[in-house]
Structure 1
Amino acid sequence: MEKAALIKAKNPYPKKKLSKKQREALEAWGFIGVGFLLFVVFMLYPLIKNFIIAFMNYSINPNKPSTFVGLANFKRAFVSGGILEESQKFYLALKNTFLAVLVTVPFQWFIGIIIAIAIDSLRRFKLFYRFMLYIPVISDWLVVAILFKYLFQPTSGSLVNAFLLKLNLISKPIGWFENAGTANIVIWSLCIWKGIGWVMMMYTAALQDLPKSLYEAAMVDGANKKQLFYKITLPLLSSRTYFIIISLIIGAFNILLQVMLITNGGPLGQTDVLLNYMYNKAFTSFDFGYAAAISLIMGSILITISVLQNKITKKTEIEF
């Protein structure tokens, strides 16, 4: 009794055990708190900071204060003027970005869906072909960029030039990186080659969900493969197609490593895209305010495309 009284005297306020619901709530808030903290530190704060910097002549030098300049950074991008004529460089980067979208997206989509349907119709080795075609998607950008630079060397011994010379399509080796047109072709080829596998896998998963009874009924009615593709497959895949296309468009707008590793914007900045141009302004010229303004412009374009895609997708959803 004396011992129990002594223990009680030492601990006048014994700890209360948490109930099961309280422990579960505490654990849940722990996970949510960590996720929310990471979101604030690595996403929300940089977004807000970027928005503020876009309206400033921002300096990372503590001895040189940053100043508010309003819409001056946006004016530099859209309005011609000044010594450096930044608007011309911006419009060139914007044009190259839109060209990349217009060229790479249709090719990736069309080749990807055709390959997915072709492999789905096979009886054997489906997994092998899917694996082989998906290898480019998971390949390291540095490795494939070096590979493409080697394939498109300006000599007659390079694989691409040798192939074109053998077919008599050209009379002399092409200097692929000497002008903007051919250099862009190399960049677009890399984007298409690396993206086809992703489109193929997306459609492969979607094709598994299509009802086979519709195809059987159509074949009984005498439909051929072409009619099955255009009348049944494409309409049933319409909602997934819009998702794939908008993902490809966003990916094409985010071209950066392809340009940096293949041409680095050359010759003379003629192959710059928005991300590459923005990166150089921020980390080469240290013009962070102007780079932040370009990022907001690019973000506005992508948000507009996403909103339009969302409205179109809702109207084209097909249930089966």
Structure 2
Amino acid sequence: MKEKFKEFRKKFDWRTLVIFLPGLIFVSMFTFYPMIKMFLMSFTDWNIGLNQTSPFVGFENYYRVLTDPIAHIALENTFLYLLLTVPTQMILGLLVALMINKITKFSIPFRVLYYLPVISSWVVVALLFRYIFNNDGLMNYFLMDVLHITNEKIGWLSTRFSALFAASILGVWKGIGWNMIIFLAALQAVPKDYYEAADIDGANAWKKFMHITLPMIKGTFTFALVMLTIGAFNTYTPIAVLTEGNPHHQTEVVLTWLNFKTFSALDMGYSAALSMILMALIVIITITMLKVINRKEK
């Protein structure tokens, strides 16, 4: 044992610890400590303020979250937003990447144009979409006065599913450029020799896509799927700006409901329990997706 310890001391470089120590302190202060503190808060009736006690309540906060109908609606809306945005972003992003990958000249301007929505402000764009889908907005004007499809104004942001549909359109529009960049990088990494060999064998474009392109970018598909899924669970701005969870909290997603319970209702214990449940749910879904994808590849 002493020999192993001496060998470890010889291999261990204290300079490495000195280099990583500031980063470890920063991560510990702003990541690990808040997570541990939130976990402890979820078991208490947390009260804000000096000289106030926070009694231990056990799993009561978790029970309140699991039996709260608004929390159920928020989770359902989050899953619906995920199902509407994630596959659509990936499919459209891949199609755009395939088209740009075929362009030999002026491809950079097209990349910039498709990526502009990604770097645009969520709040500004959400306010623009709020104007478009407002009762007196451009969408109703287009449907009523231009196409004459309907004679009445549609309350896009006044009902649950139409508001989620509008928020999903915003999410897809913002996310196509990110997917385009990710898939374009993967497409350009595919060796051209494979396509040349397929041309010699007489394979058409569809066969080359199915038997060469898709297998070669499976890893990118997995990465995009996991990142977009996590992003969908963390969506906040579209709903907060478009509807603020109204009417009657029917358009809430998990983060907007979490924000309401934290800063409006000041129910910190409930919010901490909801945060822990959300984190556990994201971890479980991510691990499950990775296992399913790896199993299919094997």
Q: TM-score, normalised by structure 2?
A: 0.90
1:36 correspondence with 2:15: no
* Higher RCO structure, 1 or 2 (CA under 8 Å, sep 6+): 2
Aligned residues with identical type, % of pairs = 38
| Structure 1: distance between partners of 2:85 and 2:148 | 26
In structure 1, C-alpha distance between the alignment counterparts of 2:41 and 2:73, rounded to whole Å: 24
Deviations 1:261-302 (A, max 9, x none): 111111121110111111111111110100000011101111
In structure 1, distance between residues paired with 2:286 and 2:63:
25
Report the CA distance between 1:164 and its aligned residue. Answer: 2.9
Distance 1:175 1:116 in 2: 35
1:61 equivalent to 2:49? Answer yes
Aligned to 2:216: 236
Q: Post-superposition shift, 1:73?
A: 0.6
How far apart are the structure 1 equivalents of 2:220 and 2:296? 10
Matched, 1:123 2:111: no
**How high is the TM-score relative to the length of structure 1?**
0.84
Per-residue CA deviation, residues 31-61 of structure 1 (Å, 9 max, x unaligned), is 3221111111111110100000011111112
Separation in structure 1 between the aligned mates of residue 215 and residue 241 of structure 2, nearest angstrom? 39
Whether 2:147 is the aligned partner of 1:159: answer: no
From 26, 40, 46, the counterpart of 1:52: 40
> What is the rounded CA distance, in whole Å, between the counterparts of 2:108 and 2:257 in structure 1?
40
Q: Structure 2 residue aligned with 1:271, among 228, 232, 251?
A: 251
Residue 112 of structure 1 corresponds to: 93
Segments of structure 2 that go 5 or more residues without pairing to the other structure are 1-12
Determine if the alignment matches structure 1 residue 185 to structure 2 residue 165. yes
| Aligned CA distance change for structure 1 residues 30 and 112 (closer, same or farther; 3 Å) | same
Following superposition, the deviation at residue 110 of structure 1 comes to 0.6
Q: d(CA) in 2 for partners of 1:239 and 1:67?
A: 48
Question: Distance between the aligned counterparts of 2:116 and 2:70, measured in 1?
Answer: 36
The Cα shift of 1:167 comes to 3.4
Q: Does 1:302 align with 2:282?
A: yes
Higher deviation after alignment, 206-215 or 25-34: 25-34
The match for 2:84 is 103
Q: Amino acid of the residue matched to residue 20 of structure 2?
A: I
Q: Distance in 2 between matches of 1:212 and 1:167?
A: 47
Q: Take 1:222 and 1:95, find their aligned partners in 2: how far apart are those partners?
A: 48
The alignment status of 1:198 with 2:186, answered yes or no, reads: no
Cα pair 1:109 1:199 within 8 Å, conserved: yes
Q: Cα gap change, 1:210/1:316 in structure 2, threshold over 3 Å: closer, same or farther?
A: farther
1:283 aligned onto 2:263: yes
SS in 2 for 1:67: coil
The aligned residue for residue 9 of structure 2 is none
Paired position in structure 1 for 2:4: none
| Cα deviation, residue 28, structure 1 | 4.3
2:7 is matched with none
Shift of 1:218: 1.6
> Which deviates further from its counterpart, 145-154 or 197-206?
145-154
1:223 is the counterpart of 2:203: yes
Kindly tell me: are residues 181 and 309 of structure 1, through their superposed partners in 2, closer, same or farther at Cα, counting changes over 3 Å?
closer
Which whole-Å CA distance do the structure 2 matches of 1:234 and 1:200 have between them?
A: 15
More helix by share: 2
CA shift, 1:255, in A, is: 0.5
Bigger Rg over Cα: 1
Structure-2 separation of matches of 1:141 and 1:271? 18
CA contact (8 A) 1:239 1:317 kept: no
After the TM superposition, which segments of 4 or more aligned residues of structure 1 sit over 4 Å from their partners?
Answer: 25-28, 315-318
Counterparts of 2:15 and 2:147, CA distance in 1 = 67
